[in-house]
């Protein structure tokens, strides 16, 4: 579960960076 959460966080961070 932690690995999946870490991957999701990384992807979300990238998406947020692109939005900003």
Query: Which letter does DSSP use for residue 1 in this model?
Result: -
Tokens matching residue 10: 């990384």
Distance between CA atoms of 19 and 4, rounded to whole angstroms? 22
- H or E segment at 13? helix 2-19
Quick one: pLDDT at residue 16? Answer: 83
pLDDT tens digits along 1-20? 789 888 988 988 888 888 87
């Amino acid at each position: 579960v932690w690995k999946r959460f870490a991957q999701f966080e990384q992807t979300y961070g990238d998406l947020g960076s692109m939005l900003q």
